[in-house]
Each structure stands twice: as structure tokens, then as C-alpha cells.
Amino acid sequence: MKCSRAETTVPQRSKQKRGWPFVALLEVQNLTVSFLRYAGGFRRQTVRVIEGIDLSIDQGEILAVIGASGAGKSLLAHALIGILPDNAKVSGTIRYLGETLDAAKLAAIRGKEIAFVPQSVACLDPLMRVGTQVRWAVRGKDPIEEQRHAFRRYRLAENVERMYPYQLSGGMARRVLLSTATVSGARLIVADEPTPGVHPDDLNEVLCRMRELADEGCAVLLITHDLESALSIADRVAVFYAGTVVETAPSADFSGDGERLRHPYSRALWRALPQNDFAPIAGTQPEPGELPAGCPFAPRCPLATSACENERPELRAVRGGTVRCIHAS
Amino acid sequence: MLLEGRELGFYYDRGIWIFRGVNLAVHSGEIVGLTGPSGCGKTTLARVLAGYDRPVEGNVTIDGRAIPESGHHPVQMLFQHPERAVNPRWRLRRTLTEGWKPDGELLESLGVRKKWLDRWPNELSAGELQRICIARALGPETRFLIADEMTAMLDAVAQAQIWHAVLDAAWKRKLGLLVISHDRHLLRRLCDRVQPWDGF
């Protein structure tokens, strides 16, 4: 199969056709993550890195999380599966199939119900053959058969299962990590940047497989900065900026001039793509700990008024999506 | 000025050719794209052109003359992983000024913040480090710039912002640019011409 990233053809949003019931598999309400750190001497400082996130993912759905580098996308994933470092404080609620998850419950279902594809290929165990690592994740089925099947799906040669991580290229290591998540039989897959370094031909396969998993009833949270790939498979897109979700929108709203998008940052992101206007906006994203009192995007926003600088905009439902902007209509 | 690689061939110690017979020319003020499958040797070719590696066959010249072995190399390279292109034990001020002293205007256009300079590399994101690496590479003696997947790790807004700053600087100084990328939309947007890989 020879195709480049842009020609990626995957079954488009076939969820409706398959008629999966819209049961919210995962619901996140007002999730806030802050880090306690030493600011010189014994002075301690709390820095909020994620603030007030509301999200939900249904069964059979792919939710893409895109946004500025350093906006806290990976931290969201780490919070969802409970692997934040000890100096992190998490507040808010995470519900899985309607049941509130605390640390103990999360630890019990992690790896069984929720699988994680980490961003770093260094997460593979350097001292174990990769085939063995993938087999460990299999539950209730024949591990060897499942692992080989997954490797065939991702076009990893048969001898790869006997290799150690250092012998793999970046793209191969990515596909091994994906195999681990997909053989686990989990109902929620949290994938953190699973595609960089994957060759365009294999990228297509990876994206197709994710769509298939969703069509089989999984929910996929796909964290990426590759907007184009994400749009080709995702049902909805959540746009992150400075530690918060500024908009959630159906994928189809990312089209044309972006006039259907609700938040000025989403429009800026869409119009900055090289295939669109390649138009930059001035300034940089505020750092955690230096967030303005009002809307975090106000200092760079063409629509900003004095009202934006005073108060943080509430999350509102607008045209089938949600947005944190007082100007959206 | 003309940067030219003629009949370039390269292998590492095991003697398996990574590429052979590659010809490539970049004029001052020209933006050339280079694209090809992963692992075909694009980065190695860039390293040869920028003088990090010596070609096994062929030669790299500027206006027909060999590039001097000492002094500021006129061909500067920007890498995909900026965290591996800076000394982890230097504060960024020292890294930024190791070749020259970038002026405030350039730093502003690239979005480099003053307070980053007193930090260590592990305290900044890849996008922030890349901005510092670009400022470092744009010294007065730089004539050609090779950008190897320079913005692959960045969101679209940061990518557009950085490229506009680089194009602006390149145009002012009549630099020649070689852009290596998998993103055909990006290449089409930036380049005067795109050269497909012909190493093998």
C-alpha cells in the first residue's frame, strides 16, 4: 500500500452506521492538576498546569485532543490513567461507566479496561524481547497468537518479536507500543502522540486500526499535534490551549476558512496549516504559573475586549460543540 | 553563491552505502525542498553538506571552492530533535551565544523569551529549544541553512510562526535554504522547487 499522509483513506466516521449506543464510557468533570514545586530555598509554590477540564468519550468514538505544544495534553493522559508524579495534586471527578474512579479503582482497571500508548518509545523495557512485552498485555486469549496477529496487522516482520527495543527504528517501536495497547482488549485506549516517526504508509495502517477499534466499540482518546491525521479518523476534536480545553467540535467543523469553529485559537490553528493560509499569530502561549486572570488566549486574540481580561470564560454549549469564549455564537 | 554537492556517496564503518551519486545544488536566496522515504539517508546527506561528516565519494563546494575546515561553517543545520543539539550542562544563554550574539529583534521575531536564557535545556520544551537553535544558527557568516524536519514536533501555529521568522531572516540575508520534510503541504508552501530523493 503506497500512500502519503494526505492521501490517507480510512473509513470515515462509521460509528452511526454501526449504531453503537451512545453510552459515555469516560466522563471527566472539572479536572485540575497542579504541581507543588520548590521556588528557591524552602519556599513552595503551587503551579496549575491543567485547569477545569470537562470531557466525555462515548463507546465507539474517537476523540482527538490537539493543541499547542506544552498545553498539558500529555498531562491529561497521565491524569486519566493515574501515573502523575507524587508532587502532583489532582482534583475533579473522573467517571468510568458512571462510576467515580479513585486511585484504587483506577489502579485495578488500568491495563485491563484502560490501555495507554505512551509518547516516548523509551517506555519499552530495554531488557525484554518486544514480543514478550506485547504478550504480557494479552488477557483471556492465546498470548502468542494475539501478539503475532497484531504484529502482522502493523506490518512488523516475524523476526521482530525476538528483537530488543534498541534494535528497532522509531517507527517500529511505535507500532510495538500500539500492539501492546490493542491486544489488551481494553475498552478505552489513551494514545499519546502515537504517530511521529511512523512512515506515511504505516501511518495509514495505524489510523485504520484505531478507527476499527472504535467501530468495534472501544473509545479512543487520541492525543496528537498532527491535525490532518486526527481529522481523518476522529469523531470529535478537543482543542487545548494553556492547560484548558477551549473548544470541542465535531471534526467536520474543521473545513474551509474555519468559519464554523467556535474559538479564535481553533481558527488560528486551522489557518496556520501549510495547506491552508500558513498564517502565524504573534506571541506565545502563557506558561503555567503566569496565566492571565481572564481568558488565557486574550493577549493574542484579535477579538479580545476588556471583558476577556477580567474573567475566565465559562464553558458554553454552542452549535453542537462547547467553547470557552464570550464572543462565540 | 552556490552550495553544491557533486556525486556524493557515504557509508559508515560497515561499508554499506547509505547513498551514492547524489547531486544537489542550492543557490543563495533559493529554497529547495528534499523529500524521500524514512531512513533513506536524508539526514546523513544534510550532515555531509553541513560538514559534520566527510563524504566517502564526491565533494561539497561553495562557488566551486572547498569549504574551509576551520572558522564558522557557512552551512548551518537545524535538527529534528533540538534537545540533542544543545549541551545539557550549559545554561541556554551560553548555548545561544556560542557562535555569535543574536540581537533582540531576531530573538523577538522568533519568540525567544529573555528568561529562558537563564534556564537549563531540560526546563524548556522542544519548541522553545528549537527557537534558540535557530537564533544560534543565523550568525552573520551563515550563508546556507539546512532545516531537517525542523518543525515536525510543533503545533501548526508555532510552525507557521517559526517559518515566517526564518524566511524573513533568510530573505534579508539572501541565505539559501534546504528544507527536509515529509509534509508535502509544507514543502509546497515554502519551496521554489522540491527535489525527490535519488540516492539509490
Q: What pTM did the predictor assign?
A: 0.85
Is there a contact between A279 and A270 (Cβ–Cβ < 8 Å)? Answer: no
Placement of cell 489513551 in the chain: A190
Residue A130 lies in a domain: no
The predicted structure's pLDDT at residue B125? 80
Q: Is A272 on the interface with B (CB under 8 A)?
A: yes
Report how many domains make up chain A.
Answer: 1
Q: How many CA atoms lie within 13 A of A153 on its CB side?
A: 20
Q: Which of A3, A7, A69, A241 to mutate to test the interface with B (most CBs of B within 10 A)?
A: A69
A49-59 pLDDT, tens digit per residue, is 999 999 999 99
Is A180 within the bounds of a domain?
Answer: no
Interface test with chain A among B43, B155, B168, by most A beta carbons within 10 Å: B155
In a domain, A319, yes or no: yes
- Integer Cα distance of A239 and A248 in angstroms: 6
Strand partners, A48: A34
SS3 assignment, position A270: helix
Q: B155 contacts in A (CB within 8 Å)?
A: 66-69, 225, 269
Domain of B179? 2-196
Say which residues have a Cβ less than 8 Å from residue A201's Cβ, sequence separation at least 6: A1, A2, A3
Residue B82's CATH number: 3.40.50.300
Cβ separation of B159 and A66 shorter than 8 Å? no
Please report the pLDDT score of residue A201 as a whole number.
73
CB contact under 8 A, A274 and B185: yes
Q: Which residues contact A110 (CB under 8 A, 6 or more apart)?
A: A81, A82, A116
What separation in angstroms does the CA of A85 have from each of A36, A44, A78, A88? 10, 16, 9, 6
Q: Is residue A315, in this structure, part of any structural domain at all?
A: yes
What are residue A240's DSSP bridge partners?
Answer: A67, A245
Determine, for residues B157 and A68 on separate chains, whether the beta-carbon distance falls below 8 Å: yes
> Taking CB atoms and an 8 Å limit, are A274 and B160 in contact across chains?
yes
- Average pLDDT score over chain B: 91
CATH number at residue A253: 3.40.50.300
The answer to whether the Cβ–Cβ distance between B160 and A275 falls below 8 Å is no
Burial of residue A85 (number of CB atoms within 10 Å: 0-12, 13-18, 19+): exposed
Of B180 and B153, which is predicted with more confidence? B180
Q: Does residue A82 form part of some domain?
A: yes
Scanning B159-198 for CB atoms below 8 A from A yields 159-161, 163-164, 182-186, 188-190
Query: B181 pLDDT exceeds 70?
Result: yes
Tell me if A294 is assigned to some domain: yes
* Domain enclosing residue A263, as ranges: 18-37+45-108+226-323
The predicted structure's pLDDT at residue A1: 35
CB nearest to B182's CB, from A5, A66, A270 = A5
ipTM of the complex: 0.85
DSSP structure string for A56-108: EEETT-EEEEEE-TTSSHHHHHHHHHT---TTEEEEEEEEETTEEP-HHHHHH
Does B39 contact A169 at a Cβ distance shorter than 8 Å?
Answer: yes
Contact status, residue B173 vs residue B28, Cβ threshold 8 Å? no
Q: What value does the mean pLDDT take over residues B161-171?
A: 93
Number of domains in chain B: 1
Per-residue pLDDT at A168: 83
Q: Are A237 and A66 in contact (CB under 8 A)?
A: yes
What pLDDT score does A166 carry? 85
Instruction: Give the CA dihedral A155, A160, A164, A169, nearest 10 degrees.
Output: -40
In this prediction, the residues of chain A whose per-residue pLDDT falls under 50 are 1-18
Q: Report the distance separating Cα A179 and Cα A174, nearest Å.
A: 9
